[in-house]
Amino acid sequence: MVSVIYETKGRAREFAELAINLYNFCSHGCVYCYSPDVIHKNREVFSTGLYPRITAQDIVQSAKQWADKGETRRILLSFLCDVYQPIEQETQLTRKCIMALHEVGLNVTILTKGGLKSMRDFDLLTNKDAYATTLTLYNENDSLRWEPNAASPKERLTALESACWKGIETWVSLEPVIDPEQTKYLVGLTADITGHYKLGKLNYENQLPPELKEQISEINWHDFGWEMKSLFDRIHAKYYFKKDLLKEMRVNPTEFKQTWVCH
């Protein structure tokens, strides 16, 4: 059986300590996506997969094993792909996963760019779960350029607001940062519906098309990082800065006071 619930490592552990990957593909087509390289798949093949990575029964068995060990940490859905793929309308695997985890007392964090599609499962989420969305850009045309098949920024904001009003804990992943000014604007738009942020620079830049790579190379990460810290402090937001960004800010991660870590 494929490993289902697993302990994360490396950069992934800065987002969550436990995770499940339901699919081995993602239709969003984000040009910065690292997953195809991680699982050694052609990008075109990765964006057109047709089947889940695991079954609902795999999840049930794994959930029981972790629950029997007394596990209490939330389980993130997911790292390799977005769990709200078009095929979800048929499989409803994400919904089955949430139900299986809840059945044995485990809870989830949903991290998605699925927008309105992700609201389908809000009836299952409780105040012990969390809902997060990735916000990279606000401009619709920019978003289409970088994340052509993901939900629009406005849809993601609508879903985040809905989760907040339903009493579900929310947070925002501001990673990767593509346009610093748009990142700051997105913080302003979401301060009243989350107040929790994870911030990180773009990694794996070598895989980008030349014109997009040049755009990223012009960002002054040192100044941007400190500007964001000032902004978060000013609005009393809780935040976690990824280690790669802290390195650019020339601070020791062990000495930088993070105000929030979502595990």
CATH code of the domain in which 206 resides: 3.20.20.70
Is residue 162 in a domain? yes
Average pLDDT, the chain: 91
Higher pLDDT, 258 or 32: 258
Residue 6 and residue 19 in contact, taking contact as beta carbons nearer than 8 Å? yes
Residue 133 and residue 174 in contact, taking contact as beta carbons nearer than 8 Å? no
**Is this structure's pTM higher than 0.85?**
yes
Of 44-48, 124-128, 141-145, 216-220, minimum mean pLDDT range: 44-48
Domain total of the chain: 1
Paired sense of beta strands 238-241 and 18-20, if any: unpaired
Count of helices and strands (H, E) across the chain: 11, 8
Is residue 230 in a domain? yes
Is residue 257 in a domain? no
- Cross-strand bridge partners of residue 20: 77
Of 24-33, 75-84, 190-199, 218-227, minimum mean pLDDT range: 24-33
Dist. CA 138–CA 186, nearest whole Å:
7
Is residue 260 in a domain? no
Dist. CA 3–CA 82, nearest whole Å:
18
Q: How confident is the model at residue 43 (pLDDT cuts 50, 70, 90)?
A: confident
Closest CA to 51 of 107, 90, 14: 90
Q: How confident is the model at residue 161 (pLDDT cuts 50, 70, 90)?
A: very high
pLDDT score for 139:
97
Q: What's the pLDDT tens digit per position in 46-76?
A: 788 768 889 999 999 999 999 999 999 999 9
Domain of 206 in residue numbering reads as 6-248
Dist. CA 17–CA 262, nearest whole Å:
9
Helix (H, G, I), strand (E, B) or coil at 224: helix
Is residue 258 in a domain? no
